[in-house]
Amino acid sequence: MWNAILYENGQFKGYTQEHGVAVGICVAIALALFILAKYRFTENQSRNAITILLGIGLILQVSKPILTGMAGSFDAREDLPFHLCNAMIILMPFIMYFKWRKFWGIAFFWVIGGTLQALFTPSLTESFPHHEFFRYWTVHAFLPFAGVFALQIYDWRITWKDMVNSMIGLNIFALLVTPINLYLGSNYLFLMAKPAVKTIYDYLGPWPYYILSIEVAMIFLFSLILGVFNLDKLALRLRKNS
């Protein structure tokens, strides 16, 4: 069993029963926590619960280099936390616990616009029970859940300033990661090449043009997210003007 957890198997395939079960379990856990936080937990209990859930993802993320090292497969080009989701799972438990509203506003667009789609177009290659299987689904399911959790439980709202800060922050992060990619020969943030498996990147053109496509798509997607999560405010404004 330990060998199955530690050593790569390369058997995961998207849009299979395993994919569906993994997403279903993550959604069930998120819904259960949301219901408890909404109707049973105190404010502190809710904060602690979401922090613990994200903390599991943090532990799985920081243990990845250790586990891959034990298996003799550690690769600095792949196993360091320089992909956006991997960096965010390290930061988000602290954002949620300490209620850093400004940083949550920046992260919200990243986790809804970027991380969420990874549930449906997974770049995962390792099947259950490999440790990467658990890390991947924990990170990519519970980061977007944390964003929506704060909307409902912390009663935060996203604004156009959050959207602008998020776009600026993402470009700064990409600029910081680029020299790391050049030094290591890595592909963090998929800045140097598309993922090896089929993802949304396949519809955005060849390298390096898909990077520009992502910039344009980001403006559209983040604007859409801002509108969707402020529909109630828009409806109220329309009623007042009618």
pLDDT score for 230: 86
The number of CA neighbours under 13 Å toward the Cβ of 155 is: 2
In tens digits, the chain (242 residues) has pLDDT values of 788 898 999 899 989 999 999 999 999 999 999 999 999 999 999 999 999 999 999 999 999 999 999 999 999 999 999 999 999 999 999 999 999 999 999 999 999 988 888 898 888 999 999 999 999 999 999 999 999 999 999 999 999 999 999 999 999 999 999 999 999 999 999 899 887 766 677 777 888 888 888 889 899 999 999 998 988 666 555 555 55
- CA angle 178-194-229, nearest 5°? 85
Taking the C-alpha atoms of residue 46 and residue 14, their distance in angstroms, rounded to an integer, is 33
Token pair in block for residue 6 = 């530690």
- pLDDT tens, 26-44? 999 999 999 999 999 999 9
Taking the C-alpha atoms of residue 148 and residue 216, their distance in angstroms, rounded to an integer, is 24
Taking the C-alpha atoms of residue 201 and residue 87, their distance in angstroms, rounded to an integer, is 20
User: What is residue 225's three-state secondary structure?
Assistant: helix
The number of CA neighbours under 13 Å toward the Cβ of 110 is: 26
Domain boundaries, the chain: 2-241
pLDDT score for 236: 53
**CA 73 to chain centroid:** 24
Nearest to 140 by CA among 54, 211, 52: 54
pLDDT score for 239: 57
Instruction: Give me the amino acid identity at 81.
Output: P
Q: Are 222 and 167 in contact (CB under 8 A)?
A: yes
Nearest to 232 by CA among 132, 140, 133, 151: 151
Token pair in block for residue 116 = 């969420």
Taking the C-alpha atoms of residue 206 and residue 211, their distance in angstroms, rounded to an integer, is 9
State the DSSP code for 157.
Answer: -
pTM above 0.85, yes or no: yes
Taking the C-alpha atoms of residue 38 and residue 32, their distance in angstroms, rounded to an integer, is 10
